[in-house]
Each structure stands twice: as C-alpha cells, then as structure tokens.
A and B are shown apart, each in its own frame.
Chain A
Amino acid sequence: MSTDVVPASQAARTARAPRTRSTRHRARAATPWLFASPAIAFFTAFLIIPIGYALYLSFRGYRVSGGAFGRREETFVGLENYATALSDPEFVAGLGRSLIYGAIAVPSVLGLALLFALLLDHPRVPGRSFARTAIFLPYAVPGVIASLLWGFLYLPSTSPVSYVARELGGSSVDFFGYPALYFALANIALWSGVGFNMIIIYTSLRSVPTEIYEAARIDGASERQIALRIKIPLVTPALVLTGLFSVIGTLQLYSEPATLRPMSNTISSTWVPLMKIYQEAFMNDNLGGAAAASVVLALGILALSLLLLRFFQRRTFGGAA
C-alpha cells in the first residue's frame, strides 16, 4: 500500500535536487543514512541477526555420541529438521486446525467490527463515546487472562451457561468438545479482537469527507444505503488491512489454546503450529527442529499475506491507481 506513496515523494525530492550544489549534494546524500542509522542498527541487531541465527539453528541438531548416558553435542544435520517439520502429520494437522479456527473467527470478528463501526458512525447514535470505549475495552485485557476468564466460563462446574442449562433440565454444555471448541476459541478472539478492528475501521470512516454523505442525502439515499453503497466501499482498504492482520493472527494462534489446554482433554500439546514449535524448543530441547518449523511457518505466512494482498489490491486499489 505504501509503495504507491514512496515513489511520489522521491520524485518530488529528485525534482528539487538539480538546484543544490554538488558538494552539498554529497553531504546531503549521507544525511538520511545518518538519521536512519539507529533504526538500521536496531533492525540488524534485533531482527536480521536473530533471523539469521534461527536459519543457522534450523540446520543444526543435538546428537549423542557414547553409550546410554553419552553426551549430546550440537552438530550440522543438513535439511533433516526441514524434512521432519514438513513430514510431521501433527504440524500439518495443526495448520489445518488454525485454518478452521480462522474460517470462523476472521469473518465474525471483521463482520462485527464493521457493524459496530457503522453503527457508531450513524449520525444519531446516543452514548457514542461510551459505547466505543466499552467495545474497545476487552482489547486491553491480555490474551492469557482473557483465556483464563473464558475458561472458567466454559468449564461445566463453573460455567453460568451450563448452570442455567442444568436448572432448565438440560445437561452441561460441552464447550471443549468438537466442533464447539473452535467456536469457543473464536469467541475469545471475538471478545477481545472486535474492539481493535472496530477502531481501525471507525477511524477510516471518520476520515471520509462529509460532503459525500450530504450529496448522497440530497440524492435521496437512506442511512442504510449510505452505509452499504458509500461507507463500506470507502473503508475497503481498512477492511483489507484488518483482514490481513487477522489472517496472520490466525496462523500465529498460541496463547488461547495453550492457556485452555490444562483445562481440557481436547487440546493436544501440539494443537496449533506455534504450540508444536514451543513444545519442540522448550520441552523437547530440539531448538533446531523448532527453528526449522518456525522458518516454514514464517514463509507460509509471508506467502499467504502476499497472495491475499495481491488479490485484494487488484480488486480494491486496482481501478484507482
């Protein structure tokens, strides 16, 4: 998205460039690097080097020499870790589970966020700032705490839903069974994710010039028509952005299932890819395997993001650019 902006501003700068003298020009060429150097240094130290190190680790493994209590040494194992990660049925199954979860969570979170944003943007809505804060507030609750909280609301003995169901003569609701578990997890995401996405969409709505609405009203459009025909098309870029974040979030699902795992039988220790990676790295002491799986997951997310962006870019921004 930003790629459209950069060439334009550069073009403006290069247009001004011939007017400066060549000696000052050279000093000036160094200036941006000087200003950028702290960022570059931090970027290298905290992103490039760790990523490089993870890549290096992904080709290493611990192997034992000696007898039954021989010592483990780190050695080069070639592509073995990658072969294990890609052929591991649990890793692939975990990806599948995150996608099912995503298929439920992403549309519902974005749908509700858009609905709330449109409602808040309605000219005659009472208690707007209160509602906005109330919807946004759950986002401030850390994921682990939200999961614990919901865990208590799901467990039959502590769940008010199950209590009411039992009082009415039914039986406890099994929130941790299949397929209810996917909805139970998506519900946590919904609870904490709607507010954040709503704010992004709402902000984007507020930046739409009001003349457009006035014009529509003069043309006889109802509020509903304005919402469907004008507002939604205009906030599509914000929807694409939040959608992309949500899809990435889906593949990086970790804290909710990991927090709920001790409470249920249905969440295995390798339920989603990140849980599998955590298990390998910190329980099985297989840093190499975890690094290889992380690289695979990161490349997968990158590929999926590029694919989605390209698809939506053509549809949303294609005509305009």
Chain B
Amino acid sequence: MLGAETPSAGARRPRRRRAALAGALALVPALALAACSSSDDDAASDGPVTLEFWTYSLKGTDPEAQAIVDRYHELNPDVTVKLSEVGGTAETSSKLLAADRADTVPDVVQVEYRALPSLVVSGVVKDITDDVADVRDGVEDNIWDLTTFDGQVYGVPQDIGPMMLTYRADLFAQYGVAVPTTWEEYAAAAEAIHTQDPSVYIASFSPTQFEFFASVAAQAGGEWWSNDGDAWSVGIGDEPSLETADYWQDLVERDLVTVEPLLTPEWNAKVNDGKILSWAAAAWAPSVLYSVAPNTAGLWEAAPLPQWTRGDASVPFLGGSTYLVPEKSEHAEEAAAFAAWLSATDEGSTSLLSLDLLPGGTAGREATLTAEPPMLMPQQTDFWQVVDQVVADTTIPVTWGPNVNVAQSAFGDALNEAALNGGSFRDVFTATQETIAADLEKSGFTVAD
C-alpha cells in the first residue's frame, strides 16, 4: 500500500516475519533436548496419544472427514487424530520445514507427490518402509512408486490423478468435434471450435501449470529429473520435451488456446459461459469444475488424455497427494500406523471415497467401480470404468527432483513471458534446464551431463 500502510504495517511486515522466525528458532536448543528424551519405544508405550494431522482433504468442519477419524479412534481408543488445515501443498511444505527447524512438528502431513523429494532431502520426512510393510499389498506398485525413492518408502498414497480430458460433451457435439484421442486431433478440434466462434477456445493455456507440462512431456518420453542414486540428471531440454514445447507454441501462436491462468474469476466465468470447453488434467478435475460451475453439471464428460503416438495409452499420474510422517514426530509409530490404515487398508481407503477423491489404495479404488459418477457428469455412467482403465495405463513413473519449487517458478515465469511476447518455448525449456541444473549444483548435488 502506498504511503498509508507504509509506516504501520508495510514497513514492519518483513521484520515481523523475521522476528517470528528468530523466535521459532530460538526455541530449537530447548526443544531439541525434549525431543531427544522421547525415543520411539517410549512413545509406543505411552498411554493415549493425539496425532496432529495436517491435511487439506480432511477438513475439520466436514462431518464425513470427522467420521473417518472418529472411526479410527473407535478402532484404536488410545489414538485421537486432530485435523488441521494449514493450506495447500506449497504452504504445507514451507510450514513443515519451519516446524521441523523449530522442533514442533505435526505427526502426519498431506502434500502432493511432487513436493515429497525436496522434503526428503531437507531431512524432514521419516523413512517408513518398515512401518508400511504389512499394508504393501493394499496399494498397486505403480502407485507406491510415487512415494518410493532409492527403495525407501517416504509416504503412503492418499489419492491419485490418472490423466483425463474433461470436456463439454454438449458443445463438442454442437461444434461437430469428436473427442480427440491424439494431440494432433486435439489441435484440429481446437482449430475447428475457434474458427466457428472466435470467442470460444477448446482450453486455456496456463503457463504456471508446471506439473501438467512435465506430465505431458513424460507422456511423450521426456524425463525431467532422474537419478542413479548418486547423481541427478535433468532432461527438460531433451528432444521429446522440446517437441511438446513446439506443439504448445504452435497452438498458442495460432491462437487456438487462450493464454490465461486457471481457476481465476475470469476462467470460471468463461467455463460457465461455455467459452472454455475442456480441461486436460486428471480424474480430480470434475470435482474442481463442479465447485466453480455447478450449473453446467450433466453437460460434461471425461475421456482418457489425448496421446502423442496413436495407440500408446501410457501416461503418468498428475497431482494427487500422499501422507508423510515427519522425522521428528514424537508419535511416529502411531502416525505411520494411522496413515497406513487410512490409505492402504480396505476400510480406510474405502472411507476416503466419501471425501470425493480417488483413493490410492486398491480397495477404495475398486469401490469406485460401483460408485455413482461425479456430480459434474451424473449421466456418464462409465466414468469410473474409464478412470480404472487410465490407472491401468499409468505406467510412466515420474521422478520429481529436490528443487521442483525452483523449477516451477522459473518455468512458469519464463513460459508466461514467452506466451505473451512471442518468445520461443524451446528456449524456455532449455533455460529452465540450465536453471535447475545450476541450482542442484549450487545445493551440492552432483549433476550428470
């Protein structure tokens, strides 16, 4: 704020933040002693414990969520789970890092898969390989891959995002466009729609959707991060990824997609008005769309994501989240047991269905097959069958690097700039590659060429 806020709030804001940080860090030595004294076996024999659970899926105000933790308390009378919502993945990650340094960590934390590696190298996440050994069978291997690094398990999968194209079936029919099965058809459909009505676009192109670009590049054969145990390789500038860059550049240059961020009031209005006709994302997209455009329910359908090579249905997961147990949790054993129950046992993973998400656990996932389709598309009775097929086709494991956040902002800013000012998307990809590699090296990692 100009002038007005300056002397009061504006000037002190950064200082206050520093003060809070210093205060938090001043507690470290005192609490470190306290933390040392409570070893694992102590915690297990202690009487009743309360697990603090940071989650944005289980909201404390939601009776369905409360019913789940009440049920767990019924099964384990010694364990009470306290739900707290601290924000999305980005906020949760940074708060968890701060909490770890202040030695006041929660016991179970929900983050998106892509945030897990950076938390692991920060030493915040507990290796729970042994704790979840009993429930390994409750989750498919391609889903365990999302939380397993170097053979160690660092989280249990809550929900997964098999990639889908959610589209306005009525308007696709009106414009005479078939559901695209390849990206080539997608471009043709985009052209057909936009030519008939220049105010309508097949989709918006949102440069800040880093994970989407990474996932479709992985679908094309790109590997943005990979490691051999010692050294990291960065492949954003590799040929398969660059070809996807060319593809998007072509769509943007021909004005077949509208360059604008997702889920803004503007985007929501266009979705409601039938000016944006589809969203290439994952099986969670319908519930998001329903929340912003409930009046369009019944007009949508979902199909597998378009393919780069006709007939090659393999895709990676996009989004979804995991429960991790912080390294410094005082009740790590109980926390891991609760997380394993909720995500990987039959009862736990089935109960997650009530939260309108696609559970990672096999039992919960199979239960969807007899469930009602999402509220956005009550008429598409085969929705969950389609999803199930996509999950089976999700055979591309994506490795997220320890500096996803750095990549995400560098990539989003540069791609926005290029999309608006006509720069080369290829250059954005190669520049991000350099930024990521340089950041990894600066942090002390070995980067293979």
Binding site for B on A (CB under 8 A): 46-47, 49-51, 53-54, 62-65, 67-72, 105-106, 109-110, 113, 139, 143, 146, 151-152, 155-158, 186, 189-190, 192-193, 195-197, 242, 245-246, 248-250, 252, 254-256, 262-266, 268-270, 274, 277, 279, 282-285, 287, 291, 294
CB contact under 8 A between A283 and B409, given known A50-B18, A53-B18, A249-B3: yes
The 0/1 profile, CB within 8 Å of A marked 1, for residues 411-449 of chain B is 011001101100000000000000000000001111000
CA separation between A270 and B403, bound complex, in Å? Answer: 17
From A50, A151, A193, contact of B2 by CB (8 A): A193
Within 8 A of A (CB), among B225-265: 227-232, 259-261, 263-265
Can you list 29 A-B pairs, Cβ within 8 angstroms, ordered by A?
Answer: A47-B15, A51-B18, A68-B150, A68-B227, A70-B445, A105-B2, A106-B2, A110-B3, A113-B3, A157-B266, A157-B270, A158-B265, A158-B266, A190-B2, A192-B4, A245-B3, A245-B6, A245-B7, A246-B3, A250-B2, A252-B14, A262-B264, A263-B265, A265-B260, A265-B261, A268-B413, A283-B94, A285-B118, A294-B14
Give chain B residues whose Cβ lies under 8 Å from the Cβ of A274. 14
Interface-forming stretch among B120-128, B303-311, B369-377, B381-389?
B120-128
B residues lining the A interface (CB < 8 Å): 1-7, 9-11, 13-15, 18-19, 21-22, 25, 90, 94, 97, 117-118, 120-123, 149-150, 207, 227-232, 259-261, 263-266, 269-270, 273, 402-403, 405-406, 409, 412-413, 416-417, 419-420, 443-446
Rounded to whole angstroms, the CA-CA distance of A263 and B445 in the bound complex is 36
Query: Do A252 and B445 touch across chains, with their CB atoms under 8 A apart?
Result: no
B94 touches A68 (CB 8 A): no
**Are A72 and B121 closer than 8 Å at their CB atoms?**
yes
Please indicate the chain A residues that have their CB under 8 angstroms from the CB of B402 in the complex. 64, 69
> Which B residue's beta carbon lies closest to that of A265?
B416
**Quick one: closest B residue to A90, CB to CB?**
B413
Task: List A contacts of B228 (CB < 8 A).
Answer: 68
The answer to whether A65 and B3 have CB atoms under 8 Å apart is no
Q: Is the CB of A72 within 8 A of B2?
A: no
B443 contacts which chain A residues (CB < 8 A)?
62-64, 72
CA distance A110 to B4 in the complex (A): 11
Partner of A156, one of B4, B120, B266, B416: B266
Q: How far is the CA of A192 from the CA of B1 in the complex (A)?
A: 7
Q: Are B150 and A263 in contact (CB under 8 A)?
A: no
Q: Which residues of chain A come closer than 8 Å to B18, judged between CB atoms?
A: 50-51, 53-54, 291, 294
Consensus secondary structure, chain B interface: helix
Asked if A285 contacts B6 (CB within 8 A), the reply is no
CB <8 Å contact, B420 and A266: yes
Q: A249-B2, A265-B416, A270-B413 are in contact. Are A68 and B207 (CB under 8 A)?
A: no
Asked if A255 contacts B229 (CB within 8 A), the reply is: no
Max count, chain B CB within 10 A of own CB: residue among A51, A139, A249:
A249
Q: Which residues from chain B contact A250 at a C-beta distance below 8 Å?
A: 2
Report the minimal beta-carbon distance from B253 to chain A, rounded to whole angstroms. 16
Contact B150 A50 (CB under 8 A): no
The answer for the CA separation of A45 and B146 in the assembled complex, in Å, is 45
Bound complex: CA A71 to CA B125 (Å): 11
Q: Does the CB pair A263–B121 fall under 8 Å? A: no
- Please state if B3 and A196 are interface contacts (CB–CB under 8 Å): yes
For B122, the chain A residues whose CB sits under 8 A away are 62, 71-72, 285
Cα-based distance from A106 to B4 in the complex (angstroms)? 11
Chain B residue nearest in CB terms to A256? B1
Which of A69, A152, A248 makes the CB contact (< 8 A) with B265?
A: A152
- Complex CA distance for A196 and B409, rounded to whole angstroms: 35
B265 touches A155 (CB 8 A): yes
Would you give the shortest CB distance from A206 to chain B, in whole angstroms?
Answer: 19
Alpha-carbon distance between A105 and B2 when the two chains are bound, in angstroms: 8
Using Cβ atoms and an 8 Å threshold, which residues of chain A touch B4?
139, 192-193, 195-197, 249
- Give Cα A65 to B10, complex, Å: 39
Are A68 and B2 touching (Cβ within 8 A)? no
Q: Which residue on A lies nearest to B439, using beta carbons?
A: A284
Known: A105-B2, A283-B405. 19 other contacts (CB 8 A): A53-B22, A69-B117, A106-B3, A109-B3, A156-B266, A157-B265, A190-B2, A192-B1, A195-B4, A196-B3, A242-B3, A249-B2, A249-B5, A249-B6, A263-B264, A269-B413, A270-B413, A279-B409, A294-B14
- Return chain A residues, CB-CB under 8 Å to B10: 248-249, 252
